[in-house]
């Protein structure tokens, strides 16, 4: 009898699925720990939780859960457009911004014909999706964990349709400069759509005016999400911003009800809660500084971050992940990103950050040399290229 593997799509067979952060419940079950004693700093979630206004709006919307959602997302798209001084026709909703990535492949690529360009250590879903769609991904080496934009431009061929750039990038936390981004966008040939993944945009100081490029009618798609600064990752809601011509194409590729009603209600209220976003940025900035200075005092090599997480060299990330997990601290091993010596830790509340740092020295034993903490000036000017 013909095997199921022979019946399945060839692209699927070699696919290594995306490895998400380990859920608290899984760790509690596997290790017999009390879930309330576990902290998760593994998925760049918001340690403050969702905006209370979003929670209230979602509660209300539950009572109408017997109705299908508004497939056109009229109110949420209007709210997003108003927030950014764009038109509703410039907004497309996604089941998380991850879905926008998928819509882009559906819309602009053909298997075996087209290519995408991305950078080494970029968010994993771009290349995963390329594989699934049978599209060749050209992965350009980065410099100090930062995308090398001129090299990415040089990698473009007549077959390239999408070029993916996350700034800040996950898992490195690095950003490109506003000037470099401007040059990059100016020099991109017209047969290539620039996909700017702005999942962590709201954490930036001095952010680039990327929306200006949408208003200018350029071939860019901005991907943003309610999962990070808004604290609504469980709802799966994100959006793309682009010209009406581009969003019209993307809208054709989505399922009729891809954004659920509860998510739409929560997102509208969350978007309006500017205070909650400000609080989240403030706690993130403080926590990041606290964690980065502690790494520096310990003599650990970390990549200075512009987002709500930090990538740090610990010798054996898989082992440190296991040791910390046994102590009820979930972080992310970077083995799947081909960075086996690293872990990535999300910024939590001050208590969570302190607990992670208290457990860390024991988890590093025998793996990496740790300074005794007497040096309290951070290692400034450390360049990741020294150890890559």
Ligand X SMILES: Cc1ncc(COP(=O)(O)O)c(C=O)c1O
Q: Report if residue 258 touches ligand X, rule: CB under 6 A.
A: no
How far is C-alpha 262 from the geometric centre of its chain's CA atoms? 22
Residue 201: CB minimum distance to ligand X, A: 10
In angstroms, the Cα distances linking 376 to 56, 190, 357, 358, 371 are 44, 50, 15, 17, 10
Alpha helices (H) in 32-115, listed in sequence order: 52-62, 74-84, 97-108
CB nearer ligand X, residue 139 or residue 368: 139
Q: Report if residue 172 touches ligand X, rule: CB under 6 A.
A: no
Q: Considering only 95-103, 109-117, 333-341, 373-381, which stretch makes contact with ligand X by CB under 6 A?
A: 95-103
Q: Report if residue 42 touches ligand X, rule: CB under 6 A.
A: no
Residue 17: CB minimum distance to ligand X, A: 15
Residue 8: CB minimum distance to ligand X, A: 25
Sole binder of ligand X in the list 22, 24, 39, 44 (CB under 6 A): 44
d(CA 356, CA 345): 9
d(CA 96, CA 93): 8
Q: Report if residue 199 touches ligand X, rule: CB under 6 A.
A: yes
d(CA 372, CA 197): 39
Sole binder of ligand X in the list 45, 102, 148, 197 (CB under 6 A): 197
In angstroms, the Cα distances linking 379 to 302, 316, 319, 334, 367 are 10, 21, 25, 23, 20
Q: Strand (E) positions, 171-262? A: 193-197, 220-225, 238-241
Q: Report if residue 46 touches ligand X, rule: CB under 6 A.
A: no
CB nearer ligand X, residue 98 or residue 109: 98
φ and ψ of 26, to 5 deg? -60, -45
Q: Considering only 46-54, 90-98, 246-254, 326-334, which stretch makes contact with ligand X by CB under 6 A?
A: 90-98
CB nearer ligand X, residue 201 or residue 302: 201
Sole binder of ligand X in the list 61, 97, 174, 284 (CB under 6 A): 97
C-alpha torsion angle, residues 122, 123, 126, 127 (rounded to 10):
70
Q: Report if residue 230 touches ligand X, rule: CB under 6 A.
A: no
CB nearer ligand X, residue 109 or residue 258: 258
Q: Considering only 94-102, 257-265, 276-284, 350-358, which stretch makes contact with ligand X by CB under 6 A?
A: 94-102
CA atoms lying within 13 Å on the CB side of residue 22? 26
Q: Report if residue 123 touches ligand X, rule: CB under 6 A.
A: yes
The binding site for ligand X (CB under 6 A) comprises 44, 96-98, 123, 166, 170, 197, 199, 225, 227, 233, 238
């Amino acid at each position: 009898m013909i095997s199921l593997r022979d019946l399945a799509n060839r692209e699927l067979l070699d696919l290594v699925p995306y490895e998400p952060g380990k859920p608290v419940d899984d760790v509690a079950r596997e290790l017999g720990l009390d879930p309330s004693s576990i902290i998760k700093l593994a998925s760049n979630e918001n340690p403050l939780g969702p905006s209370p206004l979003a929670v209230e709006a979602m509660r209300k919307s539950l009572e109408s859960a017997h109705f299908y959602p508004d497939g056109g997302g009229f109110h949420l798209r209007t709210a997003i457009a108003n927030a950014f001084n764009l038109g509703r026709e410039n907004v497309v909703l996604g089941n998380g911004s991850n879905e926008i990535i998928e819509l882009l492949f559906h819309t602009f690529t053909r298997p075996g014909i087209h290519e995408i360009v991305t950078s080494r250590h970029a968010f994993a879903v771009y290349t995963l999706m390329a594989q699934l769609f049978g599209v060749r991904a050209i992965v350009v080496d980065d410099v100090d964990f930062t995308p090398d934009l001129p090299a990415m431009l040089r990698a473009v061929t007549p077959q390239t349709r999408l070029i993916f750039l996350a700034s800040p990038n996950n898992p490195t936390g690095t950003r490109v400069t506003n000037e470099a981004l401007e040059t990059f966008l100016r020099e991109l040939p017209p047969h290539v759509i620039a996909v700017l993944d702005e999942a962590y945009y709201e954490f930036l100081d001095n952010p680039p005016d990327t929306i200006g490029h949408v208003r200018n009618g350029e071939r860019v798609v901005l991907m943003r999400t309610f999962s990070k600064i808004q604290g609504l990752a469980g709802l799966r809601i994100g959006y793309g911003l682009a010209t009406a011509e581009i969003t019209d194409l993307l809208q054709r590729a989505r399922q009729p009800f891809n954004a659920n009603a509860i998510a739409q209600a929560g997102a509208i209220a969350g978007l309006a809660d500017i205070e909650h976003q400000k609080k989240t940025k403030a706690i993130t900035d403080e926590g990041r500084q606290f964690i980065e200075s502690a790494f520096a005092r310990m003599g650990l090599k970390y990549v200075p971050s512009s987002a709500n997480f930090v990538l740090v060299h610990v010798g054996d990330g898989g082992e440190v992940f296991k040791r910390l997990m046994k102590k009820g601290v979930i972080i992310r091993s970077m083995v799947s990103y081909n960075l086996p010596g690293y872990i990535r830790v999300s910024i939590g509340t001050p208590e969570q950050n302190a607990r992670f740092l208290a457990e860390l020295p024991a988890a590093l034993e025998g793996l990496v040399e740790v300074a005794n903490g007497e040096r309290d000036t951070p290692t400034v000017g450390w360049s990741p290229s020294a150890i890559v």
